[in-house]
Copies of this chain bind each other. A is one copy, B any other.
Amino acid sequence: MDDDAVFKALADPSRRMLLDWLRERNGQSLADLCQGLAMSRQAVAKHLGILEDANLVATRRRGREKLHYLNPVPINRIAERWISRFDQPRLDALSNLKRRLEGEES
Residues of A within 8 A of B (CB): 4, 7-8, 10-11, 13, 16, 19-20, 23, 26-27, 58, 60, 62-63, 69-73, 75-76, 78-79, 82-87, 89-90, 93-94, 96-97, 100-101, 104, 106
Residues of B within 8 A of A27 (CB): 100
A19 to B83, alpha carbons, bound, how many Å?
11
Count identical subunits in the complex.
Answer: 2
Evaluate whether A11 and B8 lie within 8 angstroms (CB atoms) in the complex, with A58-B97, A83-B79 already known. yes
10 nearest CB pairs, A to B: A11-B11, A72-B86, A75-B86, A79-B83, A69-B97, A72-B90, A8-B11, A7-B11, A70-B93, A7-B10
